[in-house]
Amino acid sequence: MSRLCFLSVILGLVGQSLAACPAGYLEAQGTCLKFSTDSKTYEDARATCQADGARLVVVKTAGLDAFLGDTIKNSYNGDTWIGLDDLNSPTHQFVWSDGSTLTASDYSNWDGVQPDNPDTEQCVEIRVEYSYNWNNHLCSELKHYVCEKAVLDDCAGDKDEYKLCVESAITTCAAQLGISSRHDNRVRRALEEYLPREESNNLTAALTVAGVGVLAVVAMGALYVIQKKRLAA
């Protein structure tokens, strides 16, 4: 296996191990999500997320929107608040919980003629009976909600601290794959070439160079397992 290919496998696994979500949140579509088990008014739901250091979920891609709909459906939850409202807009302009404005060119998934009744229905939900499309509704209604936090990078700090943290993650991943110390040292030497030499708080540049996706990582990991079984037979 070439050094770059081997390194790609390890970096992919390291990236997965470092990209983490806080307890109670699940990682999906590049973000951390927490689906409520209770129902609240829109403003109470927003306050609950904020008290947890989060926000009501911002939905700017079809992928995230589909994931939310599927999860709500599979969990049998009902109508669910997302972080979109026009509570502070005299012109009925919808604004996301991250402060950005929803414009005509942005992704949206309104159902039919929605949004309607702009003077009374100022908060946005994913509506079950509307095939999990968006609907603006009365903010006082009790609904489920989804909080969102950013994905964490467990390795942070200056260059030396970052290197030690990444090396520790590599050792853990190598052990999980049953990789020998010879290969582990090979990865470390290659790591010195491919990791950015400037201070960095994440693995973005390294993973970009490695050019491997999650599916490739899973496939290569499976090959290691198969090879080990063959050698043991």
Give pLDDT, residue 188: 56
Eight-class DSSP state of 106: S
pTM of the model: 0.62
Tell me which of 174 and 88 has the higher pLDDT: 88
The CA distance from 89 to 99, in Å, is 12
Is the separation of the CB atoms in 64 and 31 below 8 Å? yes
pLDDT-derived band at 159, boundaries 50, 70, 90: low
C-alpha torsion sign, points 86, 91, 92, 93: negative
Round to whole Å and give the CA distance between 213 and 229.
Answer: 25
- Per-residue model confidence as pLDDT tens digits over 120-154: 999 999 999 999 999 999 999 999 999 999 987 65
**Helices and strands per DSSP (H, E), number in the chain:** 7, 10
Task: Please state, as a whole number, how many other Cβ atoms lie within 10 Å of the Cβ of residue 137.
Answer: 22
The closest of 190, 224, 210, 177 to 15, measured between CA atoms, is: 210
Give the integer Cα–Cα distance in Å for 21 and 149.
Answer: 8
pLDDT at 176: 57
Supply the pLDDT for residue 194. Answer: 47
Could you give the residue ranges of the DSSP H alpha helices within the chain?
A: 3-18, 42-51, 62-74, 159-177, 181-194, 204-210, 214-232
**pLDDT (tens digit, 9 = 90+) per residue, 44-103?**
999 999 999 999 999 999 999 999 999 999 999 999 999 999 999 888 999 999 999 999
